[in-house]
Chain A
Amino acid sequence: MASIITISGLTKSYASGFQALKGVDLSIEEGEIFALLGPNGAGKTTLISIVCGNVRPSGGGVTVAGHDIIRSYRGARSAIGLVPQELSTDQFERVIDTVAFSRGLFGKPRNDAYIEKVLRDLSLWDKRNSKILELSGGMKRRVMIAKALSHEPRVLFLDEPTAGVDVELRRDMWKLIGELRETGVTIILTTHYIEEAEEMADRVGVINKGELMLVEDKDVLMRKLGQKTLTIALTEPLSAVPDHLAEWDVSLKAEGNEMEYLFDTRAERTGVSSLLRKLGDLGIGYKDLNTRQSSLEDIFVSLVHREQMA
């Protein structure tokens, strides 16, 4: 596959002197879904904004569909649709007008049939004559997606598409993104949630403090990071891990009141049921069970840790 976006040595220092990007190199393949994962303030929006033309780079270069984003900005921007993180719309405009406006802004000839298709795909057709201020937040976000798709971009940027969106709409969004990929659109999205990257992406990049810490196929990454912690609340506190439990990776927490077991969700045998059976055999009682996905925080800690070890 050919790469559609090439980012090399990209740096950004804001006027305040804050360095938001510290030399990012990244190549996006045509047709893939790429998830950029990172905590608040990592530099996700900054990175996207530079590629789309909203923020000036301090150093380095970016090409989109073979066009340099500065020297050949028309070519580069024509290929891009952007849905920013913040909801910002022209409140008094009608849905259909604002979408048609976007198409014109990107220099495309009027095409009512295409606009209708976009609005239908996003379940906005019934609302086409409503003013945007009459829509709910989730609908407004879909209007912004419709605007971004109005000019038939080859690349779509979605900056936290599911932030502040309810579970059902989040599912819809995932489905929509999957459908868009079918049409050949390359999608770059940012998120805080591992499950989201897991659900949708082909590849995942993890960014923290302006540095891209890793870029990996999702499957590989999830295998590496798909660990869960099982917390068992014991009825009686234990003073030490019984020898019989040596084959499980367990430890005691909360002064022996809780037992923690780290397991791999993707493994053939997670060891959860055998552990619980063993506890039963040993007569160790428990009153509650809880599993927790490794949080992004855990992942960063382990990534940074691994980097320091290397």
Chain B
Amino acid sequence: MSGPNLRAIWAIYTFELHRFRRTLLTGLLVPVITTSLYFVVFGGAIGSRMTEIDGIPYAAFIVPGLIMMSMFTESIFNASFGIYMPKFTGTIYELLSAPVSAAETVTAYVGAAATKAFIVGIIIFATAHLFVDISVAHPVAMIAFMVLIAISFCLFGFILGIWAQSFEQLQVIPMLIIMPMTFLGGAFYSIHMLADPWRTITLFNPIVYLISGFRWTFFGKGDVGIEYSIAFIAAMLALCLAVVGWMFRSGYRLKK
């Protein structure tokens, strides 16, 4: 065999998608229901009493944040589970004994998880249309953004799945770090609405730059300049790739 083991990538990729298909109903219903609930509560009940933010109706304003929030969760959850489960059940022996490189493994697992996260993002986008009129200023950038976010967060989830040694560890990072950072990262408000010590502190939260950048693709403006958002995504991708590369080279928590 010469060149990359494309058949292995395909085998893992389809295996993972097959795994998602087994839970298709919940996998699709959950984002639709969650989104609807957010619209009822934030868009309807609270939004009706709120003025526009930056000239955008509140119900529309929260759409990019909602999509991002679900995509973060989906990406981390799917990717971390995808690699954690084989470790947990022991089936990872097969992957480790197969003629598959680190890059091929990551491509397959992250690719599958990112595919699902992307689909969920699109579903939420479609659901949002039922509640509110939204037009997208930069559709190509929007899609590109979703793809990049899905890949970066799936890489992050993959790292988490390799690092975790228990189900608790698997959940602690998404629940205790990513969720609060997303909430405080301007998913449902503009950081300009905050008073100053908090506004400056918020700028240390990388999620702010991601949500702001995604909102820019919808409305042509965000909390921070789009160039910062792009720089942050690039940095996150590079960092995750570096960590994954190191994990495989050192056999970290994969090989004894």
Shortest CB-to-CB span from B253 to chain A, Å, is 11
B100 touches which of A52, A101, A105, A108 (Cβ 8 Å): A105
Q: Once the chains bind, are B12 and A105 in contact (CB under 8 Å)? A: yes
**B251 at interface, CB cutoff 8 A:** yes
**B180 at interface, CB cutoff 8 A:** no
Shortest CB-to-CB span from A32 to chain B, Å, is 21
Q: Once the chains bind, are B99 and A88 in contact (CB under 8 Å)? A: no
B93 touches which of A14, A82, A106 (Cβ 8 Å): A82
Q: Once the chains bind, are B98 and A55 in contact (CB under 8 Å)? A: no
- Nearest residue (CB) in A for B254 is A54
Known: A74-B99, A77-B99, A101-B15. A107 touches B5 (CB 8 A): yes
Interface string of B77-100 (1 = CB under 8 A from A): 000000000000111011111111
**A60 at interface, CB cutoff 8 A:** no
Q: Which residues from B are CB-within-8-Å of A82?
A: 93-94, 97
Shortest CB-to-CB span from B165 to chain A, Å, is 13
Q: Once the chains bind, are B97 and A80 in contact (CB under 8 Å)? A: yes
A78 to B97, CA, bound (A): 9
A-B pairs with beta carbons under 8 A, tally: 79
Q: How many residues of A contact B (CB 8 A)?
A: 34
Q: Once the chains bind, are A105 and B98 in contact (CB under 8 Å)? A: yes
**B49 at interface, CB cutoff 8 A:** no
Q: Which residues from B are CB-within-8-Å of A56?
A: 251, 255-256
- Nearest residue (CB) in A for B5 is A107
A297 to B8, CA, bound (A): 44
**B242 at interface, CB cutoff 8 A:** no
Q: Once the chains bind, are B256 and A106 in contact (CB under 8 Å)? A: no
A101 to B9, CA, bound (A): 11
Q: Once the chains bind, are A88 and B93 in contact (CB under 8 Å)? A: yes
- Nearest residue (CB) in A for B13 is A104
Knowing that A15-B256, A53-B96, A107-B6 touch, tell me 10 more A-B residue pairs with CB under 8 angstroms. Answer: A56-B251, A74-B99, A74-B101, A89-B89, A92-B19, A102-B94, A105-B11, A106-B8, A107-B8, A109-B7
Q: Once the chains bind, are B7 and A104 in contact (CB under 8 Å)? A: yes
A84 to B256, CA, bound (A): 15
Going nearest first, the 3 A-B pairs with the smallest beta carbon separation are A104-B11, A88-B90, A74-B99
**B176 at interface, CB cutoff 8 A:** no
Q: Which residues from A are CB-within-8-Å of B94?
A: 82, 102, 105, 147
B97 touches which of A54, A75, A88, A104 (Cβ 8 Å): A54
**A73 at interface, CB cutoff 8 A:** yes
A80 to B18, CA, bound (A): 27
A93 to B21, CA, bound (A): 12
- 19 A-B pairs within 8 Å (CB atoms) are namely A15-B256, A49-B256, A52-B96, A55-B255, A56-B251, A74-B99, A80-B97, A82-B93, A84-B93, A86-B90, A88-B91, A90-B89, A90-B91, A91-B89, A104-B10, A105-B12, A107-B99, A108-B7, A109-B7
B1 touches which of A53, A78, A80, A147 (Cβ 8 Å): A78
- Nearest residue (CB) in A for B95 is A105
Q: Once the chains bind, are B97 and A101 in contact (CB under 8 Å)? A: no
A261 to B23, CA, bound (A): 66
Known: A52-B97, A53-B97, A107-B1. A101 touches B90 (CB 8 A): no
- Nearest residue (CB) in B for A157 is B97
Point out which of A78, A92, A107 has the most chain B C-beta atoms below 10 A from its C-beta. A107
A52 to B93, CA, bound (A): 9
A92 to B97, CA, bound (A): 22
A91 to B91, CA, bound (A): 10
Shortest CB-to-CB span from A13 to chain B, Å, is 11
Q: Once the chains bind, are B255 and A106 in contact (CB under 8 Å)? A: no
Q: Which residues from A are CB-within-8-Å of B15?
A: 101
Shortest CB-to-CB span from B163 to chain A, Å, is 16
Q: Which residues from B are CB-within-8-Å of A53?
A: 96-97, 255
A103 to B14, CA, bound (A): 13
Point out which of B12, B18, B22 has the most chain A C-beta atoms below 10 A from its C-beta. B18
Q: Once the chains bind, are A89 and B255 in contact (CB under 8 Å)? A: no
The residues in B between 46 and 89 inclusive whose CB is less than 8 angstroms from any CB of A are 89
The residues in B between 1 and 53 inclusive whose CB is less than 8 angstroms from any CB of A are 1, 5-8, 10-12, 15, 18-19, 22
Interface string of B223-234 (1 = CB under 8 A from A): 000000000000
Q: Which residues from B are CB-within-8-Å of A91?
A: 89
A97 to B17, CA, bound (A): 13
The residues in A between 147 and 164 inclusive whose CB is less than 8 angstroms from any CB of B are 147
Q: Which residues from A are CB-within-8-Å of B101?
A: 74
Shortest CB-to-CB span from A238 to chain B, Å, is 56
Shortest CB-to-CB span from A228 to chain B, Å, is 39
A105 touches which of B8, B19, B89, B90 (Cβ 8 Å): B8
A49 to B219, CA, bound (A): 55
B8 touches which of A73, A92, A104 (Cβ 8 Å): A104
